[in-house]
Amino acid sequence: MDWGAVIVAAGRGTRMGSADNKIYLSLDGRPVLAHALAAFESCPAVTSVVIVAAPGEEQRIADIVAAERLSKVTEIVAGGTERQDSVYNGLSALRTEGVLVHDAARPLVTPEQIEACCRSAEVHGASALAVPVKDTIKVVDGDGFIAATPERKSLWGVQTPQAFRRDELMDAHRQALADRASATDDAMLLERLGKKVAIVSGDYSNLKITTPEDLPVAELLLSRRRKEN
């Protein structure tokens, strides 16, 4: 199966407390986005990459692609109002049989993790990178009281990339639009149609840059990774 990737870079990341889009913040001297793109550039399974940009930021991203000499980026498209809209715009620009959807704010993903998602989806139809949760999770009611405690061994924190057959994911997006249904990730769109998504064991270092505290943690993890290699 040939694989393309949709890199979602259209979010604003208001929790970072930064006036700029978090994907442009410096991480080890390069934009956060550049690190994420480099992993897909280095993964042999991926043949093409579409980046979904915030409207008006297409040229800024094109400049990063040129500076990083990323040959697999085939198109930069504008995102929509919501994440689902942005992903669908990216899917529409791809022609590969398989698609990986990845958040640009996860800069520490590795080519090996990307490859593992592809191989799992080729067997099971769809896959998502995830890690077991470390904390005990509580379900809280509307009054702020604990309503339930799910069994921790069955709980996983989902990450990206997530891998799918492109036509199936596009159909799931269309159905969600028709039903006016929203989802926080793409796997959820297939789940609501009764399709199974396999879990691929990930790594806790594949963090999402969300708050200011995440950047120094990512810097430390990158430094440790260089020493190990």
Domain that holds residue 123: 3-228
Per-residue pLDDT averaged across 36-48, rounded? 98
Checking if the pLDDT of 14 tops 70, the result is no
Checking if the pLDDT of 17 tops 60, the result is no
Domain count, the chain: 1
Name the E strands within 109-165: 126-132, 139-140, 146-148, 156-165
Query: Residue 226: what pLDDT?
Result: 85
Residue 135: DSSP 8-state: S
Token pair 């490859």 in the structure block, residue: 115
Query: Residue 20: what pLDDT?
Result: 77
Per-residue pLDDT averaged across 38-60, rounded? 97
**CATH code of residue 133:** 3.90.550.10
Per-residue pLDDT averaged across 44-48, rounded? 98
What's the count of helices (H) and strands (E) in the chain, helices before strands? 7, 11
List Cβ neighbours of 50 (8 Å cut-off, separation of 6 or more).
4, 5, 6, 7, 73, 74, 75, 76, 77, 90, 93, 94
CB atoms within 10 A of CB 196: 11
Per-residue pLDDT averaged across 93-112, rounded? 98
Query: Residue 11: what pLDDT?
Result: 76
Q: Which of 59, 72, 141, 132 is nearest to 102 (CA)?
A: 72
Question: What are the tens digits of pLDDT across the range 173-208?
Answer: 999 999 999 999 999 999 999 999 999 999 999 999
Residue 19: DSSP 8-state: S
Q: Are 121 and 164 in contact (CB under 8 A)?
A: yes
